[in-house]
Amino acid sequence: MFRILFYLVVVFLLGLGFAWLAERPGEMVVTFAGYRYEVSLMVAAVAIVAVVAAVMILWWLIRSIWTSPYAVARYFRVRRRDRGYQALSTGMIAAGAGDGGMARRMSQQAAKLISADQEPLIHLLDAQAALLDGDRQAARDKFTAMLDDPEMRLLGLRGLYLEAERLGEREAARHYAERAVENAPQLEWAVNAALDAKTGEADWDGALKLLDSRKASGREGRESAASRRAVLLTAKAIEVLDADPQAARTAATEAHKLRPDFVPAAVTAARALFRQNELRKGSKVLETVWKKEPHPEIADIYVHARPGDSTHDRLARAKKLQSLKRNNVESALIVGRAALDAGEYKLARESCEAAARLGPRESVYLLMADIEEAETGDQGRVRQWLAKALRAPRDPAWVADGYVAERWAPISPVTGKLDAFEWRMPMERLAQVVESEEDFSPAPSIPAPKEESKEAEPVKTEAESVVIEGETVKSDPADEPSEQTPETAEPDKPSAAEPSRPETPAQDKAKRPEPSAKPGPVNGQKAAPANKEEPVKPPLPDDPGVDPDDKDGSTPGRFRLF
């Protein structure tokens, strides 16, 4: 655009010059070699311009002819380079798509057309093609060769780190990550890897130093760095709480300022303050975080801040804590527990019922069972509350990667990730609840063992009967073992040898077979013929004890408690 404007300006100035000469007529006299030449001023100006233009054109032609070999070579060199970059681009696309064969071919073609020293991406394409082909050793060699090039060093460290992680070599992966952090502290993956390594060794000071060396950019980056720093400071405070309460107080207070709603930081800061007999400051820290995040551990430490307090003093502190967060389950629960300890059963029951209305869960019904046992001692009601607790939703807990812990920890015991624990309901415990419900399912009935007999007993028909303690009882053919198959056995039809007779009311009343007992001869008595009449004795009372005539307690057809 500027070049066009420049040409237009030059033409405009030339036009102005010729117009100025045309308005001022004159002659130009040139004497050369004894000759005198006279021309007008306009013709002289045109001739001068033509001579200058001819000289410029002649110079351009001579220069073009002189530089033509270089121009031809440059043309072919540029064309070769363009083909090489086209192959490199195609190979990178094939590597991203997972086409190892195409990536390998394009890598070889790009290496022929472009020098690897001029374009380092060829090394990356070779490494990616080796990974796709499954040649891990060749890929590691490529990444190792990249370490000698300052421009490719970070790429080589990244590739070696990923390969070490894949092989499970944590020490090697940590080494490559630390080298990458030394060269470029802004790399997120390197900082995270080195941070995980230091936190796994509980080197909180080293982790804090590493985190401070990284300059976070953007609002989200600064918030993430502040959150991580709060977690590391809290972990350090918990570790030195018993040995150095002052250092624990300093670290936990800073963590609480960075994350005001972070419960472990507030709890650790309050414990350190309580150990230094600063009850008011510690209580203020707990009250601040309680307004934002009610937590049972905060309530427990707040209520038991002074070891010498009476139960009514603890109840008063629980009520104060409840006033800071109304209509909350944790507020109602802490008042209920404190009231139970103080013997205020009415208040404890009211608080527990309020907690049940706000959020019914396991701890609410367990506390109700404790209140019921302490106040009335009614074991039936206690079992009823315990049964509700068994089926109620679980209480929130510290959960990280499926692992449920009673106390907060800075890193996950499963993956080693920093700040992985969350206060929420453990969803994985639903399977445990199902298993516990299955434990209360009725057990399957076990049939009574049958006595073995050396001789096969004859098959009894419906008309046959036996005598048990002087009573005439008809045997049930369905409970007797039969040699007949289901196709040939017809229990509904009477035997031809023994015609069936209608039962008398007394015989029907005296008939008391048990489901698990096998009717038959008892105490060595023989079965009476079906056509012989026997006197019917009055039925015995249905007592659950053992038959007195049964000496060894093996009488079938009799129910026993033990």
* DSSP string for residues in 368-430: HHHHHHHHT--HHHHHHHHHHHHHSPPPPEEEETTEEESS--SB-TTT--BT--EEE--GGGH
The residue type found at 26 is: G
Q: Work out the number of other CB atoms within 10 angstroms of the CB of residue 184.
A: 14
pLDDT of residue 301: 94
H/E element, 32: strand 27-32
**DSSP H or E stretch at residue 298:** helix 296-303
Give me the torsion for CA of 173, 179, 182, 187, rounded to 10°. -50
Q: What is the pLDDT of residues 225-244, one digit of tens each?
A: 889 999 999 999 999 999 99
Whole-angstrom Cα distance, residue 414 to residue 36?
107
Contacts of residue 99, Cβ cutoff 8 Å, sequence gap at least 6: 132
Kindly report the three-state secondary structure assignment for every residue of 318-357: HHHHHHHCCCCHHHHHHHHHHHHHHCCHHHHHHHHHHHHH
Helix or strand run (H / E) with residue 472? strand 471-474
pLDDT, residue 483, reads: 41
- What is the secondary structure of 113-158 as a DSSP string? HS-TTT-THHHHHHHHHHHHHT-HHHHHHHHHHHTTSTTTHHHHHH
Measured distance CA(526)–CA(545) in Å, rounded: 25
**Digit-coded pLDDT (tens) for 342-364:** 999 999 999 999 999 998 999 99
pLDDT along the chain (562 residues), means of 10: 84 82 77 81 82 92 90 88 89 88 88 78 87 88 88 90 87 88 84 86 89 72 87 94 92 93 94 92 93 92 90 93 92 94 94 92 94 92 93 92 91 89 75 38 39 41 38 41 40 40 42 42 42 44 42 40 29
Q: Are strands 465-468 and 471-474 parallel, antiparallel or unpaired?
A: antiparallel
3 state SS for 190-255: HHHHHHHHHHHCCCHHHHHHHHHHCCCCHHHHHHHHHHHHHHHHHHHHHHCCCCCHHHHHHHHHHH
- Strands across the sheet containing 403-405: 403-405, 397-400, 422-424
| Interval 368-420: pLDDT, tens | 999 999 999 999 999 999 999 999 999 999 999 889 998 999 999 988 888 99
Which pLDDT score, from 0 to 100, does residue 533 have? 45
Domains of the chain by residue range: 7-95, 217-293
Secondary-structure breakdown of the chain: helix, strand, coil percentages, each rounded to the nearest 5: 60, 5, 35
pTM equals: 0.60
Query: Which pair of tokens denotes residue 250?
Result: 């300093």
Q: Output the CA–CA distances (angstroms, integers) from residue 320 to 313, 332, 335, 338, 384, in the order listed.
A: 11, 12, 9, 12, 32
Tokens of 463: 């008309």
CA 535 to chain centre: 79
